Chains A and B, each alone.
Chain A
Amino acid sequence: MSERVERVEARKAHVKWDNLLHISMREAGVTVALVLIVLFFSATAPYFATTGNFLKIFVQIAINTVLAAGMTFVILTGGIDLSVGSVLALCTVVGATIMTDERLSAGISITLAFVACLGTGAICGAINGWVCEKWKLPSFIVTLGMLNIASGVARVVSNNSTITGLPQSFVEFGNMIFFGVFPSIFVIAVGVVLIGWFILRFTVFGRFIFAIGTNEEAVRLSGHNPSAIKIAAFTISGLTAGIAAMVYLLRLNVGSPIAGIGYELNAIAAVIIGGTSLSGGKGSIIGTLVGACILQVLSTGLQLLGAEDNVKPIVIGTVIVLAVILDTYRNKFLRAMESRRSDG
């Protein structure tokens, strides 16, 4: 009897230790990589380890972080959203058009623009998801279509021109820095990540996102509707594109139909580097934030080091491929751990 209790206790301790290992390791890999990269550049690149530079990096990662946060939801379900860059462009144009309307007071126009930006993004995302699910189409092709549609609509709405002249209070908020080191748009980006983290970690909906990426059929057989959840994931991605558009407006103070070209690929890169599997079901949004940081730190650090422009994409490309290679090692390691565990 007591021997059995002992064994159960030992087993419990073992599981506990394993879980602790898992939790502490979940984002540890990428975070350690980020810290090492930061240390490397701090030691080698002039001006890298300055407050000004870190402030600048915080500002520069904001847009991609917000986009990548939404992208994480879609990729976790096993989908992809290629439309976020041009949806962002469309939202900046819509937002800027409203904000520059002289009939509205600053406060009202900013509020309306905020609602319209997020609404436009969410609608584009919902359409993506609905079309994918209604006709069972691959999201790659549907969102590629949306990429072009949103870009065209943005050009029509803006009449091919850059929109300037946003309200002064809006511009000032964009330049605001909290506690000397946290730019307002960085705070927004981190806020979006935290909300996303909460949803994925603590809500039933969040668990379903993972479940669909792992085994959609099982979700269906358990009596739930995967379509609704996938549509919701695309809507979230569109919504974050809308939020990213607000961040874009705060940062650059212009709405433009050509904003966001190629942003979808940066967002996907951040998600993948952050450890989320492209086949879905596995990953974390905190990892995505770290992934976005790694991309920007590499980019800024290399530039400060004086590296050739053409070296930058080579390094960043290498890091992306390495991140995916590491994912396969991680899977192997986990399988080994699982079998060890089931052996007792």
Chain B
Amino acid sequence: MANSTRRTSNSGLSRRQIVLAGAAGTITVMAGIRPTFADGKPKVGLVMKSLSNEFFKQMQAGADKFAAENKDKFDFKAVGMKDERDFAAQVDAVENFITQKYDIIVVAPADSKAMATPLAKAVKAGITVVNIDVPLDAGAKKAAGIDLAFFGPDNQAGAKLAGDALAKDLGAGGKVVILEGNPEADNAKQRKQGFMESITEGKLQLLDSKTAHWETEEANTLMTNFLTKYQDIQGVMAANDSMALGVVKALDATGKSGKIKVVGFDNIPPVQPLIKNGKMLATVEQFGAQMAVNGIKYGLRQLAGEKFSGWIKTDVKLVEAKDLS
């Protein structure tokens, strides 16, 4: 069809068209532009994980509100990732904040080890880095030559709160399954550990424990399979509420909701009605909206000369039907 000269050819037309393409592309974004100009106020950047995750949406909403109320004190910009697991994109975001000479970076690391090196670059560039949500790995921090305090919740203790609530409700010998988060995610590992402690202490019987990668749909499929495989499940521990939603749907479909007890984590708005009407037993609030705000506050205090070290624990709280009115 095409002969050999065609392949090596290109056209003047395409050049003009591509120029237009570039122009069109840039015009498209004009609507979304918010220039950031320095005017003496400290610039604060918040780097989060996936914004498709309800928890980070809440975190951003809280931070945006706080920033709007304190416009005179600092400039604020928040960025999230398209995919929670793409930490190269998070590294890009941190590097961009360094280029833009931000004063404070508040970061919820997508990976506790991988983020240490890029954040060390920020520290060396003179930026105050505040680590929230997931602690950076101690070894990785040491290797990167930084010592950062961690402001965040104890995921293991939080999961144990939910697990204990389930253990109390079922009593010794209760048969449970666990739905884990992403196997490589630190908070997923910690939450599973918390659940396992509850199982040991509450003398529960663990039937199975598998990952549904934090996802509602995958949790729904996994739970349906569990229900087929194990006829006598009494309780479900889901490492986040998105998965708990999928579990409740699966129970609804088989008429078992309310009979099989479900606990989750995060206290996202969609689970609250489920807890109220008994389809879920409990979840754990870790105050995501407040976490970023506190991160910014700690950052501003550090910028003013204060020093923090170690683990500054933020609250975790069990949420049951009686807490929601």
**Bound complex: CA of A161 vs CA of B269, how far in Å?**
31
Q: Which of A259-286 contact B (CB under 8 A)?
A: 259, 261-262, 275, 281-283
**Bound complex: CA of A300 vs CA of B89, how far in Å?**
11
Stretch of B7-15, B66-74, B231-239, B287-295 that contacts chain A: B7-15
Determine whether the beta carbon of A330 is less than 8 Å from that of B11: yes
B90 CB to nearest chain A CB (Å): 10
B79: contacting residue among A36, A40, A303, A314, CB under 8 A:
A303
Determine whether the beta carbon of A259 is less than 8 Å from that of B88: yes
In the bound complex, residues from chain A placing their C-beta under 8 Å from that of B98 are: 52
The 8 A CB mask of A221-257 against B (1 = contact, 0 = none) is: 0000000000000000000000000001001111011
By CB atoms of chain B within 10 A, which of A22, A164, A259, A323 has the most? A164
In the bound complex, residues from chain A placing their C-beta under 8 Å from that of B93 are: 303
In the bound complex, residues from chain B placing their C-beta under 8 Å from that of A258 are: 85, 182, 184
Determine whether the beta carbon of A46 is less than 8 Å from that of B111: no
The 8 A CB mask of B40-65 against A (1 = contact, 0 = none) is: 00000000000100000000000000
A176 at the interface (CB under 8 A from B): no
Given contacts A33-B21, A304-B100, contact A315 B28 (CB under 8 A): yes
Determine whether the beta carbon of B21 is less than 8 Å from that of A56: no
B213 CB to nearest chain A CB (Å): 10
By CB atoms of chain A within 10 A, which of B3, B10, B83 has the most? B10
A262: contacting residue among B18, B86, B118, CB under 8 A:
B86
Determine whether the beta carbon of B15 is less than 8 Å from that of A28: yes
Q: Which of A278-323 contact B (CB under 8 A)?
A: 281-283, 298-300, 302-311, 313-315, 318-319, 322-323
B171 at the interface (CB under 8 A from A): no
Given contacts A52-B99, A322-B25, contact A33 B18 (CB under 8 A): yes
A47 at the interface (CB under 8 A from B): yes
Determine whether the beta carbon of B114 is less than 8 Å from that of A256: yes
Given contacts A164-B143, A309-B51, A315-B28, contact A254 B99 (CB under 8 A): no
B146 CB to nearest chain A CB (Å): 14
In the bound complex, residues from chain B placing their C-beta under 8 Å from that of A30 are: 18
A304: contacting residue among B4, B7, B96, B139, CB under 8 A:
B96
B80: contacting residue among A210, A254, A299, A309, CB under 8 A:
A309
Determine whether the beta carbon of B114 is less than 8 Å from that of A29: no
Determine whether the beta carbon of A311 is less than 8 Å from that of B13: no
Determine whether the beta carbon of B10 is less than 8 Å from that of A26: yes
**Bound complex: CA of A310 vs CA of B79, how far in Å?**
10
In the bound complex, residues from chain B placing their C-beta under 8 Å from that of A314 are: 28-29
Determine whether the beta carbon of B21 is less than 8 Å from that of A334: no
In the bound complex, residues from chain B placing their C-beta under 8 Å from that of A275 are: 10, 14
Which B residue sits closest to A305, measured CB to CB? Answer: B33
Determine whether the beta carbon of A164 is less than 8 Å from that of B113: yes
B305 at the interface (CB under 8 A from A): no
B91 at the interface (CB under 8 A from A): yes
In the bound complex, residues from chain A placing their C-beta under 8 Å from that of B7 are: 210, 214, 281-283
Determine whether the beta carbon of B95 is less than 8 Å from that of A60: yes
Determine whether the beta carbon of A333 is less than 8 Å from that of B6: no
In the bound complex, residues from chain A placing their C-beta under 8 Å from that of B23 are: 36
Q: Which of B92-135 contact A (CB under 8 A)?
A: 92-93, 95-96, 98-101, 111-114, 116-118
**Bound complex: CA of A248 vs CA of B6, how far in Å?**
37
B36 at the interface (CB under 8 A from A): yes
The 8 A CB mask of A6-46 against B (1 = contact, 0 = none) is: 00000000000000011101111110110011001000001
Determine whether the beta carbon of B114 is less than 8 Å from that of A162: yes
**Bound complex: CA of A218 vs CA of B8, how far in Å?**
19
In the bound complex, residues from chain B placing their C-beta under 8 Å from that of A261 are: 83, 85-86
In the bound complex, residues from chain A placing their C-beta under 8 Å from that of B34 are: 306-308
Which A residue sits closest to B85, measured CB to CB? Answer: A258
B281 CB to nearest chain A CB (Å): 29
By CB atoms of chain A within 10 A, which of B9, B12, B28, B139 has the most? B9
In the bound complex, residues from chain B placing their C-beta under 8 Å from that of A33 are: 15, 18-19, 21-22
Determine whether the beta carbon of A302 is less than 8 Å from that of B14: no
A156 CB to nearest chain B CB (Å): 11
**Bound complex: CA of A136 vs CA of B104, how far in Å?**
56
In the bound complex, residues from chain A placing their C-beta under 8 Å from that of B85 are: 258, 261
In the bound complex, residues from chain A placing their C-beta under 8 Å from that of B24 are: 318, 322
**Bound complex: CA of A282 vs CA of B19, how far in Å?**
21
B218 at the interface (CB under 8 A from A): no
Given contacts A63-B88, A162-B113, A258-B85, contact A25 B80 (CB under 8 A): no
Determine whether the beta carbon of A37 is less than 8 Å from that of B26: yes
In the bound complex, residues from chain B placing their C-beta under 8 Å from that of A210 are: 4, 7
Determine whether the beta carbon of A329 is less than 8 Å from that of B11: yes
A326 at the interface (CB under 8 A from B): yes
Determine whether the beta carbon of A334 is less than 8 Å from that of B6: yes
A338 at the interface (CB under 8 A from B): yes
The 8 A CB mask of A323-344 against B (1 = contact, 0 = none) is: 1011101100110011000000
**Bound complex: CA of A337 vs CA of B34, how far in Å?**
45
**Bound complex: CA of A203 vs CA of B309, how far in Å?**
60
Determine whether the beta carbon of A262 is less than 8 Å from that of B183: no
Determine whether the beta carbon of B29 is less than 8 Å from that of A50: no
In the bound complex, residues from chain B placing their C-beta under 8 Å from that of A256 are: 87, 111, 114, 184
Which B residue sits closest to A323, measured CB to CB? Answer: B21
Determine whether the beta carbon of B26 is less than 8 Å from that of A308: no
**Bound complex: CA of A254 vs CA of B144, how far in Å?**
12
The 5 closest A-B pairs by CB, nearest first: A311-B32, A333-B11, A322-B21, A25-B10, A33-B18
Q: What would be 26 A-B contacts, judged by CB atoms less than 8 Å apart?
A: A21-B12, A25-B11, A28-B10, A29-B11, A29-B15, A33-B21, A37-B26, A46-B100, A47-B101, A56-B96, A60-B92, A162-B112, A162-B113, A171-B117, A254-B117, A282-B2, A282-B6, A298-B25, A307-B34, A308-B32, A311-B32, A318-B28, A319-B25, A329-B11, A337-B11, A338-B6
Taking A60-B92, A318-B25, A318-B28 as known contacts, 11 extra A-B pairs with beta carbons closer than 8 A to each other, sorted by chain A number, are: A29-B10, A50-B99, A63-B88, A165-B139, A215-B1, A252-B114, A262-B86, A304-B100, A319-B25, A323-B18, A326-B14
